[in-house]
Amino acid sequence: METEDGQWTLSFHAHPLGIIDTRHMKLVRRSAAPTNPLGAAADA
């Protein structure tokens, strides 16, 4: 049986700026909107 933490670990990897969604290969910043210019710049 997998815990919620286990599922989280399988789907995401730790990153200094937030988390990386391995399913979409995107950096997801904890406190930034998906359309945030800073987030796009960091991902580029």
Domain boundaries, the chain: 4-43
Cβ-proximal residues to 29 (8 Å cutoff; 6+ apart), any chain: 17, 18, 36, 38, 39, 42
Residue 38: the pLDDT is 57
Residue 39: the pLDDT is 55
Residue 3: the pLDDT is 55
Q: Of 20, 9, 11, 14, give the one whose Cα is nearest residue 43.
A: 20
Kindly tell me the number of DSSP H helices and DSSP E strands found in the chain: 2, 3
User: Which residue stretches of the chain have pLDDT < 50?
Assistant: 10
Please report, as a single letter, which amino acid is at residue 22.
T
Reported pTM:
0.19
Residue 34: the pLDDT is 54
Residue 14: the pLDDT is 56
